[in-house]
Amino acid sequence: EAGVAQSPRYKIIEKRQSVAFWCNPISGHATLYWYQQILGQGPKLLIQFQNNGVVDDSQLPKDRFSAERLKGVDSTLKIQPAKLEDSAVYLCASSSIMGGGETQYFGPGTRLLVL
Amino acid sequence: GENVEQHPSTLSVQEGDSAVIKCTYSDSASNYFPWYKQELGKGPQLIIDIRSNVGEKKDQRIAVTLNKTAKHFSLHITETQPEDSAVYFCAASIEADKLIFGTGTRLQVFP
């Protein structure tokens, strides 16, 4: 079974530029999560989708971050404009159902450096 | 909201020794507690999890214990090997939904 795929793996941009990350979850997984992991910290949830609907985006800085999951499969996370403090690893995870005690499987992450 | 504290932040052991990592949580409604291992340049990988209706769970050299009254849970790794070296994260959630992670423990196993 293929795992969660993410691209790009690395990205370097200057502040105030925009950037987008892509995630392809495990086939058949209805729930998709985006986490931000700052160096030396644990992952922090940004947004959670169930199929193509948003379940929780309470921690998403909506003035600069946006995310979508068209057709309930792939998802993109965008930052516009980027700030220095956005430098982090952006992790995508998926699970087969929501709230049912199912394991979240993580992708390798996209490492973002904002200069 | 939920808050998870994890200790120690770094842990060095000799190969063959045991390693113990401890976490405490604040929300008594949390009922799912996974442990993830993260190697350099990779995403977190689930190694073991426990639900609140169980006090202990074991999988080969790895075990997790849960004390609901005290709201803490621990990861035990026995007979450590160099390939166990990584960063370990505990997490807590309600029904495995929104995971709240600890700050991580960097484990180094020296040959």
Residue A108 has pLDDT above 60, yes or no: yes
CB B108 within 8 A of CB B11: yes
CB A72 within 8 A of CB A103: no
CB B31 within 8 A of CB B100: no
Q: For A42, which of B46, B51, B103 is closest by C-beta distance?
A: B103
Q: For B103, which of A41, A93, A107 is closest by C-beta distance?
A: A41
Task: Find the residue in B nearest to A108 (Cα).
Answer: B43
Section A51-67 average pLDDT: 93
Identify the top-confidence range among A54-58, A69-73, B52-56, B83-87: B83-87
Residue B80 has pLDDT above 70, yes or no: yes
Could you tell me if A41 lies within 8 Å of chain B, comparing CB atoms? yes
- More confidently predicted of A1 and A26: A26
Could you tell me if A5 lies within 8 Å of chain B, comparing CB atoms? no
Q: For B101, which of A4, A42, A108 is closest by C-beta distance?
A: A42
What's the pLDDT score for residue A1? Answer: 63
Which residues of chain A neighbour B50 with C-beta distances below 8 Å? none
- Give the rounded distance of the alpha carbon of A32 from its chain centre: 8
What's the pLDDT score for residue A106? Answer: 95
Section B25-40 average pLDDT: 93
Q: For residues B92 and B71, give the distance between their C-alpha atoms in angstroms, rounded to a whole number.
A: 10
For chain B, how big is the Rg over CA atoms in Å? 13
Residue A89 has pLDDT above 80, yes or no: yes
Which residues of chain A neighbour B42 with C-beta distances below 8 Å? 108-109
Section B47-72 average pLDDT: 93
- More confidently predicted of B94 and A48: A48
What's the pLDDT score for residue B22? Answer: 98
- More confidently predicted of A33 and A100: A33
Angle at B6 between CA A108 and CA A105, to 5 degrees: 25
Q: Measuring CA to CA, how many Å separate A52 from each of A12, A22, B62?
A: 29, 15, 37
What's the pLDDT score for residue A96? Answer: 84
Burial letters for B52-77: b for 16+ Cβ neighbours within 10 Å, e otherwise?
A: beeeeeeeeebbbbbeeeebbbbbbb
Section B30-48 average pLDDT: 94
Which residues of chain B neighbour A59 with C-beta distances below 8 Å? none
Q: B interface toward A at CB cutoff 8 Å? A: 4, 6, 32, 34, 36, 41-46, 49, 51, 89, 91, 94-104
Q: What is the mean pLDDT of chain B?
A: 94
Q: Which of A14-23, B51-60, B102-111 has the lowest mean pLDDT?
A: B51-60
Residue A70 has pLDDT above 60, yes or no: yes
What's the pLDDT score for residue A19? Answer: 98
Q: For A106, which of B44, B51, B98 is closest by C-beta distance?
A: B44
Contact yes or no for A45 and B98 at CB 8 A: yes
Q: What is the mean pLDDT of chain A?
A: 92
Task: Find the residue in B nearest to A9 (Cα).
Answer: B41
Token look-up 């499969």 returns: A73
What's the pLDDT score for residue A99? Answer: 56
